[in-house]
Amino acid sequence: MYQAPFSIPVIPRGLERCLVHYVFYLKKTLVIFQTFQYNRYENDFIYAYLGGGGILYVGDRMATISDVAERAGLSRTTVSRVINQHPYVSEEKKKLVKQAMEELQYVPNSNAQKLRKQKTETIAVYVPRLTNPFFSQLVETMEEVAAEEGFQLLFCQTRYNKQQELSYLQLLRGKQIDGLILTSMENHWSEIEPYLTYGPIVLCNEYDYEAKVPMAHLDQVMGGYIGTKHLIDRGHQSIVYCSSEPGGSRVSKGRQEGYIKAMQQIGISIKPEWMYTDQFTIEGGKRLFYRLHNLKERPTAVFTGSDEVASGLIFEARKNGYRIPDDLAVIGFDDQPVAELLGLTTVKQPVHQLGRTAMELMVEQIQSSRKISSNRVELPFELIIRDST
């Protein structure tokens, strides 16, 4: 190993960074060797800069509460009291502190606050994927409500992945978030329940009657029923069901139950080739069309679990000369913006209300310390009839 031909002074902590930055700024190469073993891995003093350009911002050390206290000639305690709006601080000192904060451009280090206060003012939202307009609307609303209430939103996509979902649950244990909203559930509730010890969980859209937690959702059985019933009322008998969500989600199970209920009510026995549960995108809708198209006995109507699937299906059907709804009636789900544009009959979900309610339940939960209630809010569906049925 290279042996420096001169003795190297110990560089005080903090200074070494500045040195490197300065040399970087001068566009020179700097190599500092220090032989103390611990430097090797804990704070690597060996730097080499090998070219390039750009402007370097070496930030000043951020002002801390101690700086403010010193400048104001008061104790940290008093400054903290001003920050947190405690009573029992005289107007006079309050003004001194505020001025010092202003002058130093002081902003409290939120990690220190979180550590000490043991709360984070952050709520995580788990969504399978964001590009589904249903979920992006949900998240948009939730962010709005959270912001109103002074909370931040940590955003996670589970990508319909069980393992991903479980790994994100660790955020609760690591005290990184105050609470968790699940908009879908890949794992069984019993897998998730233990995490309640570490903080509140709220279900939104997704639901489970076993779970003793607040939830905002819709009666999916009713949703499936309403949609199917509408198709039946239009005179259809051979109706295909295609759900939007994979896995063992209650949501899709409920919808399917509603479909079956409606069909049985008029005494139609359901053929196995009428059930599809693996499509949940526009592309999925297109694929669905070809599957149906190739059936010996083609259905006359399709109940889809999302407007995305419905639009893909209609798109591909039209391309193949089908007239909608005469050759094939299609009903969607959600009432996404695209539904209006395409004249799609659909079962409307009150997304805004859903998101708002869930977030409000969460905030309430957090603010009422650790009391866990199982407040269940069920919102109504609405059938929007357009031209596709």
Partner DNA sequence: AAGATTTATGAAATCGATTCCAATTTAAGG
Partner DNA sequence: CCTTAAATTGGAATCGATTTCATAAATCTT
DSSP state, 198? G
Q: Interface residues for a copy of itself in 322-381 (CB under 8 A)? A: 337-338, 340-342, 369-374
> Rounded to an integer, what distance in angstroms lies between the CA atom of residue 386 and that of residue 388?
6
Residue 76 contact partner, candidates DNA, a copy of itself, none, CB within 5 to 8 A by sort of partner:
DNA
Q: Which of 118, 197, 294, 369 binds DNA (CB under 7 A)?
A: 118
The size of the interface with DNA (CB under 7 A), counted in residues, is 41
Q: Which residues of 331-368 are buried (b: 16+ CB within 10 A; e: fewer)?
A: bbbbbbebbeebebbbbbbbbeebbbbbbbbbbbbbee
Report residue 296 as tokens: 């010996």
**Close Cβ partners of 163 (under 8 Å, ≥ 6 residues apart):** none
Q: How many Å separate Cα 44 from the centre of its chain?
A: 37
Among 4, 31, 62, 295, binds DNA (CB under 7 A): 62
Selected from 29, 99, 109, 264, the binder of DNA by CB under 7 A is: 109
Tell me the closest approach of the beta carbon of residue 45 to DNA, in angstroms.
9
In the region spanning residues 254 to 283, those forming contacts with a copy of itself, defined by CB under 8 A, are: 282
Amino acid identity at 104: L
Mask of contacts with a copy of itself, 114-143, x by CB under 8 A? xx----x-x------xxx-x--xx-xx--x
* Of 351, 320, 237, residue with least CA distance to 312: 320
- In the list DNA, a copy of itself, none, the entry touching 140 (Cβ below 5 to 8 angstroms by class) is a copy of itself
Q: What span, in angstroms and rounded, lies between the C-alpha atoms of 362 and 152?
A: 12
- Tokens 């307009």, located at residue: 133
Burial class (CB in 10 A: 0-12, 13-18, 19+), 105: exposed
Q: Which of residues 185-204 bind a copy of itself (CB under 8 A)?
A: 196-198
Could you tell which of a copy of itself, DNA, none binds residue 35, using a CB distance below 5 to 8 A set by kind?
DNA
Binding piece for DNA, criterion CB under 7 A, among 67-75, 326-334, 335-343, 359-367: 67-75
CA pair distance 285, 267, nearest whole angstrom: 28
Specify the stretch interacting with a copy of itself by CB under 8 A; choose among 27-35, 234-242, 266-274, 306-314: 306-314
Site residues, DNA (CB under 7 A): 1, 3, 10, 13, 35, 37-38, 42-43, 61-66, 73-81, 83-84, 87-90, 92-93, 107-109, 112-113, 115-118
